Amino acid sequence: MSVPMAYIGVIIIWSTTPLALTWSSEDVGYVFGVTSRMLIGALLALIVAALLGSGIKWERRAVLAYVASGLGIYGAMLSVYWAAQYIPSGWISLLFGLSPLFTAIMAYFWLDGEAMTRSKLAGMLMGLAGLAVIFSSSLSLNTHAALGVAGILLSGLIHSASAVWVKRIDAQLPAIVLTSGGLAMAAPLFLITWLLTQESLPVDISDRTAAAIGYLASFGSVLGFALYYYVLRHVDATRVSLIALMTPVFALALGNMLNGEPLTSEIVCGTALILSGLALFEFGQYLGQIRARFR
């Protein structure tokens, strides 16, 4: 598969994942929703890897990559599923869109990333201003929405740390192998978490919830993670995180159209600030080069 096609695939899957995530937990609870998704996803990924003749590799660097991926999947997904109880699904993609900022800072220290320029710092401040607008809007939504915002930010931090860690290990694994290894590492952690919560198996699961879990397990976990790690292997970690610059707009629109989620002026303003800040963070240096040519 070409890298651009994989990149587009990740954008499509990540744009639809937040709404599916919300639907997958509405009848069964967030712990069962994420656990069932990851157990099914891990099984599917291992089957696909075996059919492709890849299989799990057990070299030291490969195992370290599975650990980095699995811990990232566990921490980020558990946080985002918990947070999704309290905020609209579109906010998940929007707030997760701040991950390029986290990734760039971590890559600067761990991967000898690019130095912080004035445009990058200005973009970060603009993104934080947008976050402040969204946070203030959450206070008027419900009493727990602010906690949901914090949960998504924690998820983004964990996800970014995992991506940089995997990139630093550089195990040179096929994408499906890294995906199956990471999911196989994370799935038992989710199962243990579900058992510790002492939740019983849901008796009645709606068709929409079951379909959402199936979609997330197959596309969101197996195909989505495989495409993501494939892109991550061939593209700089900070550039990969630019996917989060495009998905919030689609996710907010889907949440509004299919789930009746509000799009207030505060949300639109916060969204514009965050996405503009991310664009300035990534492309501000090119604007400076263009201005210099016309002087």
Residue 200 has pLDDT above 80, yes or no: no
Tokens of 128: 């934080």
Least confident among 139-148, 257-266, 268-277, 279-288: 279-288
Whole-angstrom Cα distance, residue 177 to residue 154?
27
DSSP class per residue in the chain: --HHHHHHHHHHHHHHHHHHHHHHHTTT-HHHHHHHHHHHHHHHHHHHHHHTT-----SHHHHHHHHHHHHHHHHHHHHHHHHTTTS-HHHHHHHHTTHHHHHHHHHHHHS------HHHHHHHHHHHHHHHHHHHHHHHH-TTHHHHHHHHHHHHHHHHHHHHHHHHH-----HHHHHHHHHHHHHHHHHHHHHHHTPPPPS---HHHHHHHHHIIIIIIIIHHHHHHHHHHHS-HHHHTTHHHHHHHHHHHHHHHHH-----HHHHHHHHHHHHHHHHHHHHHHHHHHHHHT-
Per residue in 63-75, pLDDT (tens digit) is 999 999 999 999 9
Per residue in 128-182, pLDDT (tens digit) is 898 888 888 777 777 788 889 999 999 999 999 998 999 889 898 888 899 899 9
- pLDDT, position 153: 92
Residue 292 has pLDDT above 60, yes or no: no
Tokens of 255: 């949440």
Torsion 253-146-92-286 (CA) sign: positive
Per residue in 231-249, pLDDT (tens digit) is 877 877 667 767 767 788 8
Torsion 76-78-23-259 (CA) sign: negative
Tokens of 44: 């599917």
Nearest to 61 by CA among 156, 181, 153, 159: 181
Least confident among 208-212, 282-286, 287-291: 287-291
Tokens of 163: 């991506």
The reported pTM is 0.84
Cα 223 to chain center, whole Å? Answer: 14
263 burial via Cβ count (<10 Å: 0-12, 13-18, 19+):
middle
